[in-house]
Amino acid sequence: MKNKTVLPNVYLAVLMILMYVPIVLVIIFSFNENKLSVRWDGFSWRWYEALFADRAMFESLVNSLILGGSASLAAAVIGTLGAVGSSKVKLPGKDAVEYLSTLPMMIPEIILGMVFMVFFSLIGLPFGMMTLIIAHTAFCIPYVFMLVRARLVGMDKSLEEAALDLGASKIYAFFTVVLPLIAPAILSGMLLSFAMSFDDVIISMFVTGVDSNTLPLRVYSQIKTGVTPEINALCTLILLVTVLILALAAVLSRIGRGKKEPEQAAEIEAR
Amino acid sequence: MKPKRRFRSETLMLVPLYVFTLVFVLGPLVYMVILSFLQRAETWGVTNEFTVQNYAGILEPVYLNTFVESFKLATLSTLLIILLGYPFGYFMAKLSQKWKGRMMMLLMIPFWTSSLIRLYGWIIIFRANGILDKILMGLGITDAPLKLLYTYPAVVVGMIYALLPFMIFSVYSSAEKMDWSLVEAARDLGASRIRAFLTVTLKMTLPGLLSGVILTFVPSMGLFFIADILGGNKVVLVGSLIQDQLMKAHNWPFAAALSVILTLLTSLLIVLYRRLAGVKDLEGLV
């Protein structure tokens, strides 16, 4: 049943544009000469210059990169091994553990941040980069796990069986047959993890230490204390990074399993 | 497949996931429950005495009121999100394959980019003498700045904006799977457009709609930074309360009790969803 009226399309277009207005405004005002983001005074790079001159800002950028890199790498290893292992072995209580491992995606972030904070101080882990990495790994694992598991379901099992029949060891078959097949899923899981980690505020706020400020935490405190156009510039840069990562993830999953699948990545998001 | 008794080497692959999950997911959650029954120490930290006082504390009018207010805000935001998001997901599912893909890509950017940055855009819009005031005054609709920033409506807009994509994705994914010939059949059999929609379409997309409701309602109870940034200190949510108790009042057991209640409410909704929709996973999640 094809609907020939234009009204639905107008609705889609209008709402889509509205969703972009705030984003576009941030970008536009990052190039504004005026200090207050209320009127346009002409084009200027000055806020970007101010941003790059800011050492503390640079340090938090480095922190964010280290954090996102480590968390997505750890999540990739744990999530991939878990997904592959779970497709092969049946253990009692397996479903329960798998459900638990995806919980960080379902629980409100505030609660996740809270439980990590009290738990880390219970076991005496000093707050800092380590606690940040553990907390971020916890909410990144579900992305890798679910993407890899979905990929394994669609995979042709006979390829691995053939390798084993031809005398390959299990480990050899894993690295030469299975891993290349699931690599796109792992990579897009990692990129999504990185994107999530790179702009997490709530969880980081609870588990960060004194000298491990991340970029989003800085943005948050600056927005709260008083807005400078530097934030516009910073937000624009963060946007740029996120968009690039997403594009990369979309391209990868397209290579991975034919068309249609940037959706998978979008749909897997649940936070 | 029958479970084999023999140990298989693949089991080792599960070790990291199991250890991590048990230590860093189950552990903290269990501790949260234990902590919620402990007595707060005089100055800082907790004692080992068992108490239900933390839960009793929630019943105090101030805190109970926060729950009620949070609930109201979440309900209002969710209703508005349904009104905006359901048609969006539904119409999107009717687009051509090419446009579906394009819309998906377009939705990805507002969906994945930092909600903080997107909220910041709303500050620019709502600020006194900001964009919105300029436009409204320019059109002669209002003649003085509305001063919308730090008001309740601003928080509602922020909530809608942050959570709308979840509803769209959920509704879209169940509308996309729908067999449109059923609607046609209903129409051929003489059902009016509205009747066909209510009896066929709505029923078939209900799982998506309900999962959208959960994905928007649950977070909107906890997204304290939206209330913080767009609402000033005027709107206090359960999330803000937990944060305050944790960071400012240092009353961890009380914060834990609040979290337990919020988690229970959340789980209750999810269980209810599974009953209603008869599905195991949230629609649109995978």
Whether complex ipTM tops 0.85: no
Structural domain harbouring A174: 55-268
Structural domain harbouring B271: 61-113+163-277
> Per-residue pLDDT for A163 more than 60?
yes
In a domain, B86, yes or no: yes
Residue A38 confidence (pLDDT): 64
Which alpha helices (H) appear in chain A, and where do they start and end?
7-30, 46-53, 55-88, 94-106, 109-122, 129-153, 157-165, 170-173, 179-198, 202-207, 215-225, 229-257, 262-268
Q: Do B110 and A23 touch (CB under 8 A)?
A: yes
Structural domain total, chain A:
1
Neighboring chain A residues of B107 at a CB cutoff of 8 Å: 16, 19, 266
> Per-residue pLDDT for A146 more than 70?
yes
In a domain, B234, yes or no: yes
Residue B258 confidence (pLDDT): 92
**Which tokens belong to A100?**
């638990």
Confidence of residue A259 (pLDDT cuts 50, 70, 90): very low
Residue A17 confidence (pLDDT): 92
Neighboring chain B residues of A108 at a CB cutoff of 8 Å: 218-219, 221-223, 239, 262, 266
Mean pLDDT (whole number) for A84-107: 84
In a domain, B189, yes or no: yes
Q: Do A150 and B286 touch (CB under 8 A)?
A: yes
**CA angle (A62, A124, B16) in 5-degree steps:** 70
Mean pLDDT (whole number) for A54-58: 83
Q: Do A12 and B105 touch (CB under 8 A)?
A: no
- State pLDDT tens for residues A213-253: 898 888 888 887 766 777 888 888 888 888 888 788 778 76
A149/A143 Cα distance (integer angstroms): 10
In a domain, B72, yes or no: yes
In a domain, A42, yes or no: no
Instruction: Compute the count of residue pairs across chains A and B with CB atoms less than 8 Å apart.
Output: 264
Structural domain total, chain B:
1
A238/B121 Cα distance (integer angstroms): 14
In a domain, A21, yes or no: no
Q: Are B104 and A266 in contact (CB under 8 A)?
A: yes
Within 10 Å of residue B175's Cβ, how many Cβ atoms? 21
Mean pLDDT (whole number) for A121-133: 93
Among A78, A84, A118, the residue with its CB nearest the CB of B35 is: A118
Mean pLDDT (whole number) for A164-190: 88
Q: Which CATH number does the domain housing residue B197 bear? A: 1.10.3720.10
Q: Is A28 exposed, middle or buried (0-12, 13-18, 19+ CB in 10 A)?
A: middle
Could you tell me the sign of the dihedral formed by the alpha carbons of B134, B140, B145, B149, in that order? negative
Please count the residues of chain B. Answer: 286
> Per-residue pLDDT for A262 more than 60?
no
Alpha carbons within 13 A on the beta-carbon side of B188? 7
Q: Do B263 and A111 touch (CB under 8 A)?
A: yes
**Which tokens belong to A94?**
């397996």
Pairing state between β B46-50 and B38-40: antiparallel
A111/A101 Cα distance (integer angstroms): 16
CA distances from B251 to A123, A124, B47 (A): 18, 18, 12
Residue B280 confidence (pLDDT): 53
A23/A63 Cα distance (integer angstroms): 25
B28/A119 Cα distance (integer angstroms): 5
In a domain, A63, yes or no: yes
In a domain, A129, yes or no: yes
Mean pLDDT (whole number) for A118-133: 93
Q: Which CATH number does the domain housing residue A148 bear? A: 1.10.3720.10
> Per-residue pLDDT for A266 more than 60?
no
- State pLDDT tens for residues A131-145: 999 999 999 999 899
Which residues of chain B fall short of a pLDDT of 50? 1-2, 4, 284-286
- State pLDDT tens for residues B223-249: 888 888 888 777 888 888 898 888 888
In a domain, B262, yes or no: yes
Neighboring chain A residues of B20 at a CB cutoff of 8 Å: 78, 101, 137-138, 141
In a domain, A248, yes or no: yes
More confident residue, A218 or A255: A218
